[in-house]
C-alpha cells in the first residue's frame, strides 16, 4: 500500500534510494517518483507504471546525497504521473503512505486561502497543510507537530524542506515507518527489506513521533516535541533472503521454502513434548470463546483454525473478515479471546479490529510474521510465525506457517480439553516430525500440478469445492488462482452447489474438488458426481485412493493426521495457481491492482 524510502548521507543517494524502492515495490506499483537535492535545488522526477519506468528517467550519477522516493498504490486519484508522489507545496516536498481521511474538508479550506492543487491526492493536501502551518510557525518541527493535530487518518511521511536541505524529516501515524542507520548515512523506509543491502540496524518509529535525520544524526521527538531515546534493533534476516536466488518468481521461491518455514515455525514452539506447547500456549487456558479476525488469506487460515479448534478442543470459534468486524456489534464474554492473523502485521482493518477488541477490554492475541509490526506490538500476546521476508503479493509460505500455528494451538487445546487422547497425541507428534519431508515431497510433484494447469489455464472460470476444512482450503486455493491469474474462480461448499451455482457448470468447466476429511469424503464424492454428470472437468485432490473413477485428474496426497493434513493440501493448489498464471503471462509477483501490505481501510 505504497512504499516510501529516503536517504541522507555521504554517498550518492539515487542508487541507494532506487534499490531500496525496488525492494518495496510489492507495496504498490502503479507509479513511482523521487525528489532529491542537487545543487541546492529540489528536483522531482516521477513516472506512471513500475519503478523500471522511473529508472529510465534518472541520472544515477547525479550529485545528490539526500532524497525521498515513493512507489504508489493509488487511493485518491487515478494512477497517473500527476498523482504520483512526491508532491510539493511551497518549501515542502513529501512522500506519503496512508490516507488523510479529512483531506477533502482540509482541501476546501486551503482553496479558500488561495492554494491551488495540481493532483487529486490527499497527499498534496497534507503537504499544503504543512506548508500553511509553516507560514505561521516558521519552524519545521513545530509545523510538522501541529500537522499531526490537523490530520485524521493514517500516514507515514518522508519530508524535505527547501529551507533545510541537509535534513530529512519523517513522521507517522498508523502506517509503518522505520528509520535506519548505516556507516555511510541514514534512511527512512516503509519496511526493513528496503535497507537490508546497506544496514540491518533500524529504529521503529511510533505513532505521532517525528524524526529529524541528517547524515550523522537521528533525533526522534515525541508528540510533545521532547527528544525520545529509541532502541536500535538488529534485523536477523539477510538481503539474500529477500532476493529471488535463481527462481523465476518470488512466489515459486517462497512455495519452495515451505518445508523450512514449517520447521522453523513449529520448532520455535514445540520440542517434541506437550510440555513445550503448554509453556508457550498456557495463557490460552482461560478462554472458552474465540473470535478470529483477519483479511484475505489470513482470514482463510482462520477458517481452517475454526474447523480444528472446534473439532478437537470443543471451543466455539467465530471467524470474521476484519473490515466487517471493526464496525459490527460484537457479543463478547469475559472469557472471549480475539485472535488477529496478519502476515504483515500492518493491515489497517485488522489493526482496527484489534484496537476495537482492546478498547472493549477483551484479550487479544496476534499471529504475525513481521517482527515489531503494529499488530504485533499492540496485541496482548504475540505468536510469531517464522516465514521470513515474503515478497510475492500472493502469500504462500506465511499462509502455510499460519496453518502450522493453528495446528499447534489445536493440538494443545485439544489435548487439554480431552478431545485428543494420549495415544492419538503420539501419532500426531510422529506425523509432525515427518511433515517437513512430506511438504518437500508434495512440492516435488509440481510437474503433475503443472501438467494439469496446462490443461485448464485457458478456461474463463474455475470452481473449487469441498466440505468442512476442505471448503476452507478451497477458499484459499480459489483466491490464489484468481489474484494472480485473473481467472474468475469461486469456492463453494460441495453440498451447496446444487442450490444455484451448478447452473454455471458446462462441458469442461474445471472443478477442483478437495476431499481430505475422511468423515466427509463419500458425501463430497456424491457432489463431484453431480458436477461430473453435467460435463465438469474434475480435478480431484484427496489423501485416499479413490475406488472408482469419477474424476479427470487425480492429485493424491500423503495421508497424515487430519489436524495436520491442511498443510499438505494447500501446496498443489498454490502450484496450480502459479502455473495457470504463468501460462497466461500474468505478472505473478505483482498482480494488477494489488499490493502486499494493505495499510488503508
Question: Rounded to the nearest whole angstrom, what is the least distance from the CB of residue 295 to ligand M6R in the complex?
Answer: 4
Q: Are 20 and 7 in contact, with CB atoms under 8 Å apart?
A: yes
Nearer to ligand M6R, 295 or 514 (CB): 295
**DSSP state for residue 114 in the 8-state scheme:** T
Q: How many CA atoms lie within 13 Å of 473's alpha carbon, on the beta-carbon side?
A: 28
From 46, 386, 532, 596, active-site residue: 596
Interface residues for ligand M6R in 468-487 (CB under 6 A)? 483
Cα(98)–Cα(597) distance, integer angstroms? 11
Nearer to ligand M6R, 51 or 387 (CB): 387
Nearer to ligand M6R, 265 or 350 (CB): 350
Question: Rounded to the nearest whole angstrom, what is the least distance from the CB of residue 52 to ligand M6R in the complex?
Answer: 22
- Strand, coil or helix: 34: strand
| Phi, psi for 410 (deg, rounded to 5) | -70, -35
Question: Rounded to the nearest whole angstrom, what is the least distance from the CB of residue 97 to ligand M6R in the complex?
Answer: 14
Residue nearest to ligand M6R (CB): 296
Number of residues located near ligand M6R, criterion CB under 6 A: 15
Of 4-12, 14-22, 68-76, 337-345, which part binds ligand M6R (CB under 6 A)?
337-345
Nearer to ligand M6R, 389 or 438 (CB): 389
For residue 243, the tally of other CB atoms under 10 A from its CB is 17
Q: Are 575 and 377 in contact, with CB atoms under 8 Å apart?
A: no
Cα(301)–Cα(524) distance, integer angstroms? 21
Of 109-117, 221-229, 246-254, 293-301, which part binds ligand M6R (CB under 6 A)?
293-301
Question: Rounded to the nearest whole angstrom, what is the least distance from the CB of residue 251 to ligand M6R in the complex?
Answer: 9
Interface residues for ligand M6R in 379-408 (CB under 6 A)? 393-395
* Annotation marks residue 2 as catalytic: yes
Question: Rounded to the nearest whole angstrom, what is the least distance from the CB of residue 594 to ligand M6R in the complex?
Answer: 6
- Whole-angstrom Cα Rg for the chain: 25
Q: Could you say whether residue 344 binds ligand M6R (CB under 6 A)?
A: yes
Q: Could you say whether residue 297 binds ligand M6R (CB under 6 A)?
A: yes
Of 66-74, 135-143, 307-315, 336-344, which part binds ligand M6R (CB under 6 A)?
336-344
- Strand, coil or helix: 178: strand
Cα(425)–Cα(411) distance, integer angstroms? 8
Q: Could you say whether residue 350 binds ligand M6R (CB under 6 A)?
A: yes
Q: Could you say whether residue 347 binds ligand M6R (CB under 6 A)?
A: yes
Q: Could you say whether residue 343 binds ligand M6R (CB under 6 A)?
A: yes
Nearer to ligand M6R, 186 or 297 (CB): 297
- Dihedral sign computed on CA atoms, order 534, 538, 543, 549: positive
| Phi, psi for 240 (deg, rounded to 5) | -60, -35
For residue 417, the tally of other CB atoms under 10 A from its CB is 15
Of positions 211, 298, 541, 581, contacts ligand M6R by CB under 6 A: 298
Q: Are 8 and 20 in contact, with CB atoms under 8 Å apart?
A: no
Phi/psi region, residue 343 (left: phi>0; alpha: psi -120 to 50; beta: rest), is alpha
Q: Could you say whether residue 168 binds ligand M6R (CB under 6 A)?
A: no
Interface residues for ligand M6R in 13-72 (CB under 6 A)? none
Question: 295: closest CA among 242, 251, 354, 254?
Answer: 354
Of 256-264, 340-348, 541-549, 575-583, which part binds ligand M6R (CB under 6 A)?
340-348
- Residue 565's alpha-carbon distances to 217, 410, 533, 561, in angstroms, are 52, 13, 29, 6
Write out the DSSP string of 449-479. Answer: HHHHHHHHTT-SEEEEEESTHHHHHHHHHHH
Nearer to ligand M6R, 395 or 442 (CB): 395
Q: Could you say whether residue 254 binds ligand M6R (CB under 6 A)?
A: no
Nearer to ligand M6R, 13 or 479 (CB): 479
Q: Are 10 and 39 in contact, with CB atoms under 8 Å apart?
A: no
Cα(206)–Cα(174) distance, integer angstroms? 8
Q: Could you say whether residue 420 binds ligand M6R (CB under 6 A)?
A: no
Question: Rounded to the nearest whole angstrom, what is the least distance from the CB of residue 205 to ligand M6R in the complex?
Answer: 19
**DSSP state for residue 9 in the 8-state scheme:** E
Of 281-289, 338-346, 407-415, 557-565, which part binds ligand M6R (CB under 6 A)?
338-346
- Strand, coil or helix: 435: helix
Q: Could you say whether residue 175 binds ligand M6R (CB under 6 A)?
A: no
Q: Could you say whether residue 295 binds ligand M6R (CB under 6 A)?
A: yes
The residues carrying an active-site annotation are 2, 596
Contact positions vs ligand M6R (CB under 6 A): 295-298, 342-344, 347, 350, 393-395, 483, 597-598
Amino acid at each position: 500500500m505504497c512504499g516510501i524510502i529516503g536517504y541522507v548521507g555521504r554517498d550518492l543517494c539515487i542508487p541507494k534510494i532506487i534499490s531500496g524502492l525496488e525492494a518495496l515495490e510489492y507495496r504498490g506499483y502503479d507509479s513511482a517518483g523521487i525528489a532529491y537535492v542537487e545543487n541546492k535545488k529540489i528536483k522531482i522526477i516521477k513516472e506512471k507504471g513500475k519503478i523500471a519506468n522511473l529508472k529510465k528517467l534518472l541520472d544515477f550519477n547525479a550529485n545528490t546525497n539526500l532524497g525521498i522516493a515513493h512507489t504508489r498504490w493509488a487511493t485518491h486519484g487515478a494512477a497517473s504521473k500527476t498523482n504520483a508522489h512526491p508532491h510539493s507545496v511551497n518549501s515542502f516536498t513529501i512522500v506519503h503512505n496512508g490516507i488523510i481521511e479529512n483531506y477533502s474538508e482540509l482541501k476546501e479550506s486551503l482553496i479558500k486561502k488561495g492554494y491551488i492543487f495540481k493532483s487529486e491526492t490527499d497527499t498534496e493536501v497534507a503537504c499544503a497543510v504543512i506548508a500553511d502551518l509553516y507560514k505561521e510557525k516558521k519552524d519545521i518541527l513545530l509545523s510538522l507537530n501541529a500537522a499531526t493535530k490537523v490530520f485524521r487518518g493514517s500516514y507515514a511521511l518522508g519530508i524535505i524542506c527547501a529551507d533545510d536541505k541537509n535534513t530529512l524529516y519523517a513522521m507517522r501515524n498508523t502506517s509503518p515507518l522505520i528509520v535506519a542507520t548505516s556507516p555511510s548515512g541514514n534512511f527512512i523506509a516503509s519496511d526493513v527489506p528496503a535497507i537490508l543491502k546497506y544496514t540491518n540496524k533500524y529504529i521503529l518509529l511510533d505513532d505521532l513521533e517525528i524524526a529529524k535525520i541528517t547524515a550523522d544524526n537521528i533525533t526522534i521527538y515525541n508528540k510533545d516535541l521532547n527528544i525520545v531515546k529509541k532502541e536500535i534493533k538488529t534485523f536477523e534476516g539477510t538481503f539474500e533472503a529477500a532476493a529471488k536466488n535463481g527462481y523465476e518468481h518470488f512466489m515459486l521461491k517462497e512455495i519452495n521454502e515451505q518445508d523450512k518455514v514449517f520447521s522453523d515455525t513449529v520448532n520455535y514452539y514445540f520440542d517434541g513434548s506437550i510440555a513445550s506447547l503448554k509453556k508457550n500456549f498456557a495463557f490460552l487456558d482461560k478462554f472458552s470463546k474465540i473470535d478470529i479476525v483477519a483479511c484475505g488469506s489470513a482470514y482463510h487460515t482462520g477458517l481452517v483454525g475454526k474447523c480444528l479448534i472446534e473439532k478437537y478442543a470443543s471451543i466455539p470459534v467465530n471467524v470474521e473478515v476484519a473490515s466487517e468486524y471493526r464496525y459490527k456489534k460484537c457479543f463478547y464474554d469475559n472469557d472471549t479471546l480475539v485472535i488477529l492473523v496478519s502476515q504483515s502485521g500492518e493491515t489497517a482493518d485488522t489493526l482496527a479490529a484489534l484496537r476495537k477488541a482492546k478498547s472493549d477490554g477483551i484479550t487479544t492475541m496476534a499471529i504475525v510474521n513481521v517482527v515489531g509490526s503494529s499488530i504485533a506490538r499492540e496485541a496482548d500476546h504475540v505468536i510469531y510465525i517464522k516465514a521470513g521476508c515474503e515478497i510475492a503479493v500472493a502469500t504462500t509460505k506465511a499462509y502455510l506457517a499460519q496453518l502450522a500455528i493453528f495446528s499447534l494451538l489445536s493440538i494443545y487445546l485439544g489435548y487439554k480439553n480431552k478431545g485428543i487422547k494420549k495415544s492419538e497425541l503420539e501419532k500426531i507428534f510422529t506425523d509432525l516430525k515427518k511433515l517437513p519431508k512430506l511438504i518437500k515431497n508434495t512440492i516435488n510433484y509440481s510437474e503433475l500440478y503443472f501438467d494439469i494447469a496446462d490443461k485448464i489455464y485457458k478456461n474463463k472460470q474455475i470452481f473449487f469445492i469441498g466440505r468442512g476444512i476442505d471448503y476452507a482450503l478451497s477458499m484459499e486455493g480459489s483466491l490464489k488462482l484468481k489474484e494472480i491469474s485473473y481467472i474468475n474462480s469461486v469456492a463453494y461448499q460441495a453440498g451447496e452447489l446444487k442450490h444455484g451455482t451448478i447452473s454455471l457448470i458446462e462441458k469442461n468447466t474445471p472443478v477442483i474438488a478437495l476431499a481430505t476429511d475422511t468423515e466427509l469424503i463419500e458425501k463430497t464424492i456424491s457432489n463431484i458426481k453431480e458436477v461430473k454428470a453435467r460435463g465438469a472437468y474434475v480435478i480431484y485432490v484427496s489423501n485416499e485412493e479413490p475406488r472408482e473413477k469419477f474424476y479427470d485428474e487425480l492429485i493424491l496426497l500423503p495421508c497424515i493426521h487430519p489436524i495436520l493434513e491442511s498443510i499438505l493440501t494447500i501446496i498443489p493448489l498454490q502450484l496450480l495457481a502459479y502455473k495457470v498464471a504463468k501460462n497466461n503471462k500474468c505478472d505473478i509477483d505483482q498482480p494488477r491492482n494489488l499490493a502486499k501490505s494493505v495499510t488503508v481501510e
